Amino acid sequence: MAGATTRRVVMFPFPFPSHIAPMLQLAELLRARGLAVTVVHTSFNAPDSAGHPELTFVPMHERLPDAATDPGADLVGQMLALNAACEAPFREALRAEVRRGQAGRSGGEVACAVVDGQWYAAITAAAEVGVAALALRTDSAATLHCMLSYSRLCSAGYLPIKGKCRDEVLPPVEPLRGRDLIRVDGSDAERVREFIARVDNAMRAAAMGVVFNTFHAIEAPVLHKIRRQLLTRATFAIGPMHRLLGAPEEHGLHAPDRGCVAWLHAQAPRSVLYVSLGSVARIDREVFDEMAMGLAGSGVPFLWVIRPAFVTGTADGDAPPLPEPLAPVVADGKGKVVTWAPQRDVLAHPAIGGFWTHCGWNSTLESICEGVPMLVQPCFGDQTVNARYVTQQWGVGLELGEVFDRARVAEAVRKLMVGEEGAAVRERARDLKAKARQSVEDDGASAAAIDRLVRYMVSF
């Protein structure tokens, strides 16, 4: 129950599952430290409030154009359209929360707002209302550093990427190469740059601080660079938040198929490759077929998440048929296919020996926390950045390579699962797991950072 002196934080998640989950993790972490939390949210892709009885949820009833909601829409266009359409409704919702707090009607005056880092328009809107806005980055610090370096990359002539820059390390964003920079297939590079420029501008002009779901042992140098770029010390690396929170896995996008955990119980230790490209990525039929053939050819047992409509050209709700010769492998029980897995439980299972991942930031952190080595297949957005750090900087994953055929897939899978190189990567993954654990212990850096964050929040 909120007391008379309780301060309230207004949160505004970006309406996609892998953005909502970390925002609600932060909400629970703040609540456990005595702050009251109101989650203002879009009606589009509204968060599930069921597991959060002590948070207050306030829908905005925004009006969105098709460009903001169409699942087939260009992703960058969608993010620009969401920002444009939600700026005014968020400003009004925040004003209303401030008034309710001042009138003593909401169990705590508003101390500050925490908005997702992709809501550049909301960061500015909060500043206009006179509320300190902190940005929650649900991606890596390396991704934000890359975004804040775009204008420098442009003026140094590295952008647009051409020729040999693709394979060269670019000094302003080292260890990234040209091909690791943020890109969104199907979106015009100019629009990607426009989006990044808007985020950059809001961060520099209006954000009072930045919260990261990361930890010092993996990203201290890049966090240091960001502090210099933003001229602020108000950065808080409080990850991995799901570990700091210690809460069980939430439902997520779909109901998970728990039968796959029973199947894992019957597999040998570290023998199974878990394959999942997250909740959004879609692949072409040819790539899907090469993945399937390569898996079958590797002889390695696998657990593969194939979401409905994962393969382009298949209708929503339809699972693509498994190509020969993968179907008999599954029929024999040497491989398993599910539409959605309880991923954190899967990664924690002793039978898992590797994770073929798109390197979404949540998946990357979850893999690091369980000490599972990765095989990286980044698809778009920040995934290329994360993949480069996983393979090059932290050495806990192997590249699949850009040329993607069944023979190379089979070779890469074997290299990770049974090869010497894979063993070295596994060893480093084990070390990183221990560091992730240390960071959330009582005297760890992330635990200290969240205490500092709470003090900062109530100072406004």
By CB under 6 A, name the binding residues for ligand UDP: 18, 252, 276, 278-281, 305, 340-341, 343-344, 360-363, 366
Give the nearest residue (CB) to ligand UDP.
360
Q: How far is the CB of 342 from ligand UDP (least distance, A)?
A: 6
Catalytic pick among 116, 180, 289, 382: 116
Task: Write out the two tokens for 234.
Answer: 């108000």
Q: Strand ranges (DSSP E) for 331-373?
A: 335-338, 352-357
Q: How far is the CB of 278 from ligand UDP (least distance, A)?
A: 3
Q: Strand ranges (DSSP E) for 130-196?
A: 133-137
Q: How far is the CB of 284 from ligand UDP (least distance, A)?
A: 17
* Residue 457 near residue 9 (C-beta atoms within 8 A): yes
Task: Write out the two tokens for 352.
Answer: 């898992």
Please provide the DSSP assignment of 201-260 as one string.
HHHHHTEEEEEES--HHHHHHHHHHHHHHHT-S-EEE---HHHHHTPPPP--SS---THH
User: Given the complex with ligand UDP, which of 153 and 432 has the nearer CB atom?
Assistant: 432
Helices and strands: H and E segment counts in the chain: 18, 13
Burial (0-12, 13-18, 19+ Cβ within 10 Å), 53: exposed
* Residue 50 near residue 35 (C-beta atoms within 8 A): no
User: Given the complex with ligand UDP, which of 225 and 344 has the nearer CB atom?
Assistant: 344
* Residue 410 near residue 416 (C-beta atoms within 8 A): no
User: Given the complex with ligand UDP, which of 2 and 280 has the nearer CB atom?
Assistant: 280
Identify the CA nearest to 123 among candidates 108, 136, 111, 110: 136
Buried b / exposed e over 184-193, threshold 16 CB at 10 Å, is beebeeebbb
User: Given the complex with ligand UDP, which of 251 and 415 has the nearer CB atom?
Assistant: 251
Q: How far is the CB of 299 from ligand UDP (least distance, A)?
A: 24
* Residue 134 near residue 209 (C-beta atoms within 8 A): yes
Identify the CA nearest to 14 among candidates 55, 68, 53, 56: 68
User: Given the complex with ligand UDP, which of 56 and 140 has the nearer CB atom?
Assistant: 140
Identify the CA nearest to 262 among candidates 346, 186, 182: 346
Q: How far is the CB of 43 from ligand UDP (least distance, A)?
A: 21
| 3-state class percentages of the chain: helix first, strand second, coil last, to nearest 5 | 50, 15, 35
Q: How far is the CB of 53 from ligand UDP (least distance, A)?
A: 22
Q: How far is the CB of 23 from ligand UDP (least distance, A)?
A: 13
Identify the CA nearest to 83 among candidates 184, 14, 2: 14
User: Given the complex with ligand UDP, which of 115 and 305 has the nearer CB atom?
Assistant: 305
Q: What is the largest CA-CA distance in the chain?
A: 67
Please indicate whether residue 116 is annotated as part of the active site. yes
Q: How far is the CB of 280 from ligand UDP (least distance, A)?
A: 4
* Residue keyed to tokens 């095989």: 375
Please indicate whether residue 19 is annotated as part of the active site. yes
User: Given the complex with ligand UDP, which of 42 and 213 has the nearer CB atom?
Assistant: 213
Task: Write out the two tokens for 146.
Answer: 């890359």
User: Given the complex with ligand UDP, which of 238 and 454 has the nearer CB atom?
Assistant: 238
> What are the residue numbers of the active site?
19, 116
